[in-house]
Each structure stands twice: as structure tokens, then as C-alpha cells.
Amino acid sequence: MIKLEAQPDEIYDIELEHSLLEANEKLARQNRALLDEHGTTAIDFMGAIGSGKTTLITKLVEKLKNQCGVAVFNGDATTSEDADQIEKLGVPVVQIATINGCHLDANLVGKGLRKIDISKAKFIFIENIGNLICPAEFPLGSKARVVVVSVTEGPWMVRKHPHMFLGAQIVVINKIDLADAMGVSVEALINDVHTLKPDITVIPTSCKNGTGVDAVAQTLLAI
């Protein structure tokens, strides 16, 4: 087998990328300061397309909206399907269309923060673009990052995307009701996560039937 691996100096846009990441981190710190000023906790949700980010956020909003203020930012490349679904719950929603951009960044989130009354939100849930690679490199100013991974993505999802998990505080392993049908071991996925990052919180869920959503809500309330 021929193996080819990009070296840092072979990637032509590396210097551009470096300053881009630095600029993003600065804006993320500004977002965080603004959120802290209002006592608002932003949580961002990352994960592949179809992992269940929108369904998890929907269930969390249903659970929390009567006890505290909740707002949702929906990152989406082009459509507003997810934002439309959340909006039906009667909470403030900001749809962020990246126009085919593959991740949210702190600039876009900062613009969103200026469109809502932050002081009314205890939580802002931010749904990132469905992608397990670059969102990890772009902090948004959130207090915690959640990765949603589902058993339908196969047994190697965690091992193949270590950066995503190393930068997160909470991992949700979703669609556990389908684990047997998929031949995927939830225990093995949990072990993979803990091998990468022993102190991370891992919560198995089935967002469709509500299993584990309470545990996610309690974890977020304790942040």
C-alpha cells in the first residue's frame, strides 16, 4: 500500500490558515466575554450529518424552555429545515446560512449574538454544520462543546476523528436503540472516547424516543 500524508509545509495555505485561526480565537474570546456578562451559557453541538444534533436540541429545548430562557442558533449550509423545526417550539432562533461553508466560526456566531436579547437566555444551543473535521478547529465562545455521534455511523467514528472528541466536554452516543441492528457496540464506542479523553462525560441516548435526554439536560444545567 502506498501511504501519503500531508506535511505542514506542504499545505500552501498554512500561513493564511494560522492567522485565520488566531483571528477566530480572538472573536471567540469576545463572544464568551459577552455571554459571561449576561450570565448566558452557550453550548455548541457538533457531529456528522444525520447524527441527531437537531433532534437532541429539539428535545432539550422542550425539556428546558419552561424553566429557563433558551435560544438556538442553527448553522446550515443552505437550508432552514432545522431552524424551522426548532422555531415551532416558540424560542428565539437564529438561522446561520454558511452558503456551503463547512463550519460555523466565531464571527458568524458573534453576529447572531447581536440579533437576540442575550439577557433573556440562560442557554444558547448552537448547532454546527454536519462535519466531524474542521468545526473542532473553530471555537465559537461556548462554555462546552458536545459531540453527537450515532451508532449508525459505524464502529470507527470515534477513532477516526480524535480532534473532535479531544476538544469536547460531553459526548452523546445517539440512536442506541439501533445498536443491535447496526452490529455496533455502544460499550466499545464509550471505551474509544474514554481512551482518547478519560475525563469526558459520555451519555448514551436515543433522542427519538427520549432515552438519555434527561441526563444530557442535567449535565448542561450543572455546567
54 binds Mg ion (CB under 5 A): yes
- C-beta of 81: minimal distance to Mg ion in Å? 8
**Residue 103 interacting entry, from Mg ion, Zn ion, none, C-beta within 5 to 8 Å by type:** Zn ion
* Residue 126 burial (C-beta neighbours within 10 Å; 0-12, 13-18, 19+): buried
Judged by CB under 5 A, which stretch of 7-15, 48-56, 107-115, 167-175 contacts Mg ion? 48-56
Q: Provide, rounded to whole angstroms, the least separation between the CB of residue 205 and Mg ion.
A: 15
Contact pick of 35, 43, 73, 82 for Mg ion (by CB under 5 A): 82
Question: Contact letters (x/-) for Zn ion, 95-124, by CB under 5 A?
Answer: -------xx---------------------
Inter-axis angle of helices 53-64 and 213-221, nearest 10? 70
CB contact at 8 A, 172 and 56? yes
Q: Residue 220: is it exposed, middle or buried by C-beta count within 10 angstroms (0-12/13-18/19+)?
A: buried
- CA gap 90, 65 in Å, rounded: 9
Give the count of beta carbons closer than 10 Å to the beta carbon of residue 90.
9
Count of residues engaged in binding Zn ion, rule: CB under 5 A:
3
The answer to the question of residue 134 lying near Zn ion (CB under 5 A) is yes
Residues that bind Zn ion (CB under 5 A): 102-103, 134
